[in-house]
């Protein structure tokens, strides 16, 4: 599945370069205009990152997210700085179908595993974003990618799968925002190692050829952000390409 994405700061659509708030691009279209455009192109899901809420939880953009969900144009998954069960439940009440949880899954795994059991695997996406070191260790970054947790991806995910985790969004941080291509090798390895996980690949896609390459990794879904906002290719073409055998 092709899943377009929008990042939101103070009600505006933006993109950050490798998670850096100081390197952001703002786009003119309103979030609702983007929702309608992507839905018209055939998208059935939208990935929302609330960057304001990630930085300042008390300023979470719940009203805006509610308005987007109320459009009923597609289903939504949303995240950004989820720190408590209240954060999780508020997003579900706002109308999103799945809540994306990142740093907290590393810092307080038992808490998040409890939520998986309470709300069900279909309501939660684990965002396990990695820095790959010179020895090939896949260590998860937290706090908006500003900190390396030292926790490796595979053992953490093995633990979460035993608690019922199903959806995982994985970004190779070195690729994000570059448009230079995704880390196909990473996704091939992860899909082989964890075939029962529904994988969402994110980061680095700049053209249709990158999507074509990703298909060979057998990853389940692809998140598209900057490339769509900057018109690198048409969303309809991407959806059509992904659907081809």
pLDDT in tens, 10-44: 999 998 776 678 888 899 999 999 999 999 999 99
Closest C-alpha among 183, 191, 119, 103 to residue 151: 103
Beta strands in the chain (DSSP E): 2-9, 12-17, 20-26, 45-50, 75-79, 98-101, 124-127, 130-132, 138-142, 147-152, 167-171, 198-202, 221-224
Active-site annotation holds for 7: yes
How many whole angstroms separate alpha carbon 148 and alpha carbon 142? 6
Closest C-alpha among 75, 160, 151 to residue 117: 160
pLDDT at 93: 97
Single pTM value for the model: 0.92
Q: Regarding beta strands 2-9 and 221-224, do their DSSP bridges make them parallel or antiparallel, or are they unpaired? A: parallel
Q: Which of 7, 50, 87, 172 is catalytic?
A: 7
Q: Which of 50, 87, 129, 172 is catalytic?
A: 129
Q: Collect all residues with Cβ–Cβ distance below 8 Å to 122 and sequence separation of at least 6.
A: 97, 98, 166, 167
DSSP 59: G
Three-state secondary structure call for residue 46 = strand
Which regions of the chain are under pLDDT 70? 18-19, 142-149, 176-178, 245
- Give the pLDDT confidence of 203-213 residue by residue, as tens digits: 889 999 999 99
What's the topology of domain 2-243? TIM Barrel (3.20.20)
pLDDT at 176: 66
pLDDT at 149: 57
Query: What is the rounded average pLDDT for all residues in the chain?
Result: 91
Active-site annotation holds for 159: no
């Amino acid at each position: 599945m092709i899943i377009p994405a929008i990042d939101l700061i103070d009600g505006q659509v933006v993109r950050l370069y490798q998670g850096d708030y100081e390197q952001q691009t703002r786009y003119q279209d309103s979030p609702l205009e983007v929702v309608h455009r992507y839905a018209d192109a055939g998208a059935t899901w939208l990935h929302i990152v609330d960057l304001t809420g990630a930085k300042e939880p008390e300023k979470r953009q719940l009203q805006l997210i509610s308005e987007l969900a109320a459009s009923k144009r597609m289903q939504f998954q949303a995240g950004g700085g989820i720190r408590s069960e209240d954060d999780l439940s508020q997003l579900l009440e706002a109308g999103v179908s799945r809540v994306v949880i990142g740093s907290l899954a590393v810092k307080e795994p038992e808490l998040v595993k409890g939520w998986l059991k309470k709300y069900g695997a279909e309501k939660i996406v684990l965002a396990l974003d990695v820095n790959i070191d010179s020895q090939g260790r896949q260590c998860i970054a937290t706090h908006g990618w500003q900190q390396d947790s030292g926790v490796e991806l595979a053992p953490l995910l093995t633990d979460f799968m035993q608690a019922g985790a199903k959806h995982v969004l994985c970004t190779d941080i070195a690729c994000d925002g570059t448009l230079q291509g995704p880390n196909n090798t990473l996704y091939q390895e992860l899909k082989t190692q964890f075939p029962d996980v529904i994988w969402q690949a994110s980061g680095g896609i700049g053209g249709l050829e990158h999507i074509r390459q990703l298909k060979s990794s057998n990853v389940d879904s692809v998140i598209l952000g900057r490339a769509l906002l900057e018109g690198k290719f048409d969303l309809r073409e991407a959806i059509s390409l992904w659907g081809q055998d």
